[in-house]
Structure 1
Amino acid sequence: MAINSAAIRWHGNSLELLDQRLLPTQTVWLTISDSQQAANAIREMVVRGAPAIGIAAAYGLALEAQRLGDNASLPALATAIECLASSRPTAVNLFWALERLQRTAGERTGSELVQALIEDAESIHQEDLAANRRMGEFGAALLSPGATLYTHCNTGALATGGHGTALGIIRSAWEAGTLAGVYAGETRPWLQGSRLTSWELLNDGIPVTLVADSSAGQLMAQGKIDAVIVGADRITANGDTANKIGTYTLAVLAKHHGIPFIVAAPLSTLDSELPDGSHIVIEERDGSEIRQIQGKPVAPAHCPVYNPAFDVTPASLISAIVTERGVIDAPDTSKVLAHLQASH
């Protein structure tokens, strides 16, 4: 089955990923043939965004099984699973997708296993798009008419199976006629806000104003922001949320200014195994990402760098978590657990 979305093209037996490192100036699709190439694409940020990472990993494992052919089995895929799992440590969707495909594999071997993994990867892709649509409806209902929103990083069709999580809410609100406009923070060091979010919103005709990350507090103080909406890479049992670095800062600012802070993420991002955010492994990336911007030096080459890819926002700063099953208001452990139980 062929499935095409903004960043992922599946042709039934082959995969293409949009190289998001080159947007918005170049549109280049890379062909992915096996699990190693899929893992490299995830690690090097060709594909990014927790849901899209999970989808790409699922297809990568299916492709590896296809490459093995008659020799395909769950034990034979162990190295591929380990390779994919190590590509990014924070995004829980990656591990969720791999665990789901391993359950699907079971005792199957050969062509039966290949077909089962392909069909399950396709289902993950399709389910994510449908979940984003439902998330968009639930989230848009939280917004007052004529709202102006602030968002961080990129949580749109490029980061998911389509439509988006936080950006999906923004799209749905725009479709419903309840959105006035969006401020997008540039999101250093990879500039997902300036390169990707502004690109997506402009393509959709949604009014967007790009700002430096450090402008958020000033905008809030001026009364220009009605709500902050962000995505998530992992949400723990108590509602603590790991998201792109800079999210925690926005949550503190929003709390100070009395502005709703909304997190949008599919159920697959909720990690009930971790009690709180202190247990989340935070990926630290190479210092060259801070010392350079797209290969151009902006700092001394020998300057030490601290470069965490994510930070953790405590649940106490979050107004609501929106999933495809509804809204968790003022999240805590009991509410997250009730939401998960109601979803089964």
Structure 2
Amino acid sequence: MENQKNILDYDTVALDEAQDAVIIIDQTLLPGKIELIALHTAQEMWDAIYLLKVRGAPAIGVAAALGIYLLANRIETEDFEEFYQKFTEYKEYLDSSRPTAVNLSWALKRMDAVAVKAGREEHKTVAKVKEILHDEALQIRAEDVEVCRKIGEFGLELVKPGDGILTHCNAGQLATVKYGTATAPIYLGQERGYNFHVFADETRPLLQGARLTAFELHSAGVDVTLICDNMSASVMSKGWVQAVFVGCDRVAANGDTANKIGTSVVSAVAKQYGVPVYICAPTSTIDMATATGADICIEQRKAEEVTEMWYKERMAPEGVKVYNPAFDVTDHELIAGIVTEYGVARAPYTESLKEIMERKAQRG
């Protein structure tokens, strides 16, 4: 279904119980066409995540939580162990769709934990387990909105009115339920008259910056300028950028972060020009079990995304080898701070991230 309303008027990910479906914006069609699609089956959910119809670590996590609930709700048995065996099959299948974003496995593990507690430890009926899964999925979605707002508040303290901000890829509302992570300070600043000047990298090869970030910020009335990925040094050298805000898909225990390919380049350039780089990361993306960025599995994607996608004609010679990692790792030494919903972590990250996770556990 096509819509003419502002892109920000629509939920990125939502549960439609009447349709028995997860409703998402098909982000592969943006900005030319806004289309909401309903995901009913496990295959449709897997494809939507893998094909980037829904993307951005937080949004993927929410979609997985809502999706596993819907799939679990259709399992027809009153025996918990039989139910749980099928639930586990669905969970592992969805978890295989994308390997780098930790939110996917985080959300599925959280849903798994409540199912086990309710069914195996508390001996609740399968019907009751399904109710608990329903409530947990909606709780994950609600928490995403609140987490992003808090990241925005902490991030806003790092900049001042009139600053230039550069961002890479899309860590905006389209990557979450609302506000975004890296764009949360921008949106809150927009509400409060900060008049930021934002530079959005186009973000090759999938153009999330051009198609998504520039689209949603422009729709919100933000002063946004689109630049090619290789222009970051140019705008920084002119003094137009006072801070870099980017999202991430996984944070290692030492503060190394995996984000969309090209983020490490931006961070190295920013270091050269004395521009602080801030990683906006919900604690759900912090993986204390991963020691360093070298331990993060980097997703490799199809060559066609580089050679053919978005072009009317193929833009590379037939048969040429293509290296197409979806993410790269930014060394913690290039990062000025990691902005979470519990505050800003600073170096040494092995200590500050541990403190933030302990704070989360105490409040949780």
Same structural fold, with TM-score higher than 0.5 when normalized by the shorter chain: yes
1:11 equivalenced with 2:16 (yes/no)? yes
Contact kept in structure 2, 1:49 and 1:154, CA below 8 Å: yes
Aligned with 1:221 (options 237, 240, 257):
237
Aligned to 2:323: 306
Task: Describe how 1:181-260 pairs up with structure 2 within 5 A.
Answer: 181-260=197-276
Q: CA deviation at 1:109?
A: 5.1
Contact kept in structure 1, 2:162 and 2:195, CA below 8 Å: yes
Q: CA deviation at 1:7?
A: 1.4
C-alpha distance in 1, partners of 2:258/2:301? Answer: 16
Aligned with 1:30 (options 33, 37, 52):
37
1:67 equivalenced with 2:74 (yes/no)? yes
Aligned with 2:95 (options 78, 85, 91):
85
RMSD: 1.4
Q: Deviations over 1:142-197 (max 9, x none)?
A: 10221110000011111002110001121112222224310000001110000000
Contact kept in structure 2, 1:151 and 1:229, CA below 8 Å: yes
Aligned to 1:321: 338
Aligned with 2:304 (options 265, 288, 295):
288
Aligned to 2:115: 105
Instruction: Select between 306-315 and 285-294 the one with higher mean Cα deviation.
Output: 285-294
Instruction: Select between 8-17 and 224-233 the one with higher mean Cα deviation.
Output: 8-17
Aligned with 1:115 (options 131, 149, 152):
131
Aligned to 1:263: 279
C-alpha distance in 1, partners of 2:54/2:132? Answer: 24
Match for 1:53: what amino acid? Answer: I
Q: CA deviation at 1:303?
A: 1.2
C-alpha distance in 2, partners of 1:209/1:217? Answer: 15
Q: CA deviation at 1:84?
A: 0.7
Match for 1:74: what amino acid? Answer: Y
- 3-state SS of 1:21 partner: helix
Aligned to 1:129: 145
Aligned to 1:21: 28
Contact kept in structure 1, 2:28 and 2:52, CA below 8 Å: yes
Task: Give unpaired runs (5+ residues) of structure 1.
Answer: none
Q: CA deviation at 1:5?
A: 5.2
C-alpha distance in 2, partners of 1:172/1:264? Answer: 14
Contact kept in structure 1, 2:11 and 2:24, CA below 8 Å: no
Q: CA deviation at 1:11?
A: 2.0
Aligned with 1:172 (options 162, 181, 188):
188
Contact kept in structure 1, 2:201 and 2:227, CA below 8 Å: yes
Identity %: 42
- 3-state SS of 2:244 partner: strand
Task: Give unpaired runs (5+ residues) of structure 2.
Answer: 1-8
C-alpha distance in 1, partners of 2:186/2:76? Answer: 43
Q: CA deviation at 1:294?
A: 2.5
